[in-house]
Structure 1
Amino acid sequence: MMSTISGTTGTIRAVAGRDAARRARPLLLAGVVAGPIYVITSLTQALTREGFDLSRHAWSLLATGDLGWIQRANLLVTGLLVALFAVGLRHGLAGGTGATWVPRLIGLFGVGMVLASFFSADPALGFPPGTPEDYRQMSWHGALHVVTASTGFVGVIAACLIMTRRFAECARRGWAVWSAATGMLYVGALVGLSSTGTPFWIFTFTGAVVLVFTWLAALAMDTRGGQRPL
């Protein structure tokens, strides 16, 4: 009798697990498309908006000026997609190291982007056109943009490092190295950008952003495929 009940319980759990995984697949797809949307939209603006210089200006400055609404909308849409991905990832990881905290931290990254979309960065370094080169004032919304975006950055960095351990435990060395490199490059780029802001660190930070979104998209596809246990 007990064995029958135990077998029935196991079957119910298995079916529930499959149902949860099925429901998670569309949410995981959000993590695949979030990065391309953000990067393509940002890069298109960077190459077409008057006065924007990729070697001097971070993408956050695109949220300023008359056309700043485009980048703010970009942040909002991308942040919502990342948050949806985090919900799907919670079902996809299904136990093990980071199964609870990695989705939360990636969700924090998404929420940080959403909040940053409501608080635009301050003009700086001659952008948008008409801004003095030495303009250094920080408004309340500029300060909140920095705080909300930075909180999200910390979240995704922590997620990368936790996933490094998870992948190492599963003997997926390539994934472990990639996750660690992504997190550490983001840390270095943030420190370099905030301390010097030279063209080298501007490009490094931009590259780190692209790498993070590439990592998120790959993680979403890997989890969605379900070919190997994470």
Structure 2
Amino acid sequence: MRPTTILLTCGIAAGLLVPALILTDGATRPGYSLLHHGASQLGTGQRGWLQTVNFVIGGLLLLAFATGLRRMLCRAPQPGREAIWGPILLTAADLALAVAGIVPTDPALGYPPDRPEVITAAGRVHGLAGLVLFAALAATPFVLARHLRGSNQGWVTYSRWSGALVIASALAAGIAFRLDMQGALRPAPAGLLEHAALLVGFAWIIAAGLRLRRPNTVGEV
């Protein structure tokens, strides 16, 4: 395969690997609930190293994808601002994902079991990385919706809905998490909402990678 095709395939691999390992590990981790707990909490407790590796490798794969995306967009007859902002947003996402893997979150919502719930500087860094990740996953589909449409208007609609669902699910997850921490709603579906945001965001990355591998999908409107 050509180098650019390999780079784009890395994005497809990231879109498959990261959510699959989160869901598989979460479904089999003692004391962990996919409905209740956030994906980041898998980076703590038993088998925490697995999600550290998952997030770091996923970040590296997304970095390769951002490079391939930049190369593809620059080939357009009139590359616009999307050729700059699309790769920048994806780079922000991959860096945030890697940081979220390296810097673990704080214990919360009863996980890991028998660990006191505290707020640390590392937890705040992790939270900021998560905020950047979800913001980038939401913004990228909006930025590239029309630029990658080819002749298919449906791609524009799908991309915009994907971006909207990512940000809506992530915000709802944050609200549910706070309500649960305050005891106002227990158990709140914070984990379900966060996992949904990740699934929608990475599904779009898979779709974009597959679309970019086909001819005549990049162009100005």
Q: Same-fold call, TM > 0.5?
A: yes
Rate the CA distance shift 1:184–1:220 in 2: closer, same or farther, 3 A. same
1:98 paired residue number: 82
TM-score (norm 1): 0.83
Rate the CA distance shift 1:97–1:173 in 2: closer, same or farther, 3 A. farther
After the TM superposition, which residues 103-118 of structure 1 pair with which residues of structure 2 at under 5 Å, given as runs?
Answer: 103-118=87-102
Q: Matched residues in 1 for 2:157 and 2:138: separation?
A: 14
1:159 deviates by 1.2
User: For 1:182-213, what per-residue CA distance to the aligned partner results, in whole angstroms no more than 9, with x for missing partners?
Assistant: 11111111211112236444323211211111
CA contact (8 A) 1:63 1:72 kept: yes
1:167 deviates by 4.8
Q: Matched residues in 2 for 1:114 and 1:100: separation?
A: 22
2:183 paired residue number: none
1:26 paired residue number: 6
1:173 paired residue number: 153
Q: Which has the higher contact order (CA 8 A, sep 6+)?
A: 2
1:74 paired residue number: 54
CA contact (8 A) 1:63 1:121 kept: yes
Query: Runs of 5+ in structure 1 lacking a partner?
Result: 1-20
Pick one of 102, 106, 111 that aligns with 1:127: 111
Q: Residue 100 of structure 1: SS of its match in structure 2?
A: helix
RMSD: 1.9
1:202 paired residue number: 191
Is 2:152 aligned against 1:163? no
CA contact (8 A) 1:50 1:129 kept: no
TM-score (norm 2): 0.86
Instruction: Quote the sequence identity (%).
Output: 29
Q: Structure 2: which amino acid aligns with 1:226?
A: P
1:228 deviates by 3.3
Q: Matched residues in 1 for 2:151 and 2:81: separation?
A: 13
Rate the CA distance shift 1:156–1:173 in 2: closer, same or farther, 3 A. same
Is 2:135 aligned against 1:146? no
1:219 paired residue number: 208
Q: Give the structure with higher Rg (CA).
A: 1
Q: By percentage of residues, which structure has more helix?
A: 1
Q: Matched residues in 1 for 2:83 and 2:136: separation?
A: 15
CA contact (8 A) 1:167 1:173 kept: no
Figure out how many residues of one structure are paired with residues of the other and give that number.
206
User: For 1:120-145, what per-residue CA distance to the aligned partner results, in whole angstroms no more than 9, with x for missing partners?
Assistant: 0111111112135xx3x211111111
Query: Runs of 5+ in structure 2 lacking a partner?
Result: 178-186
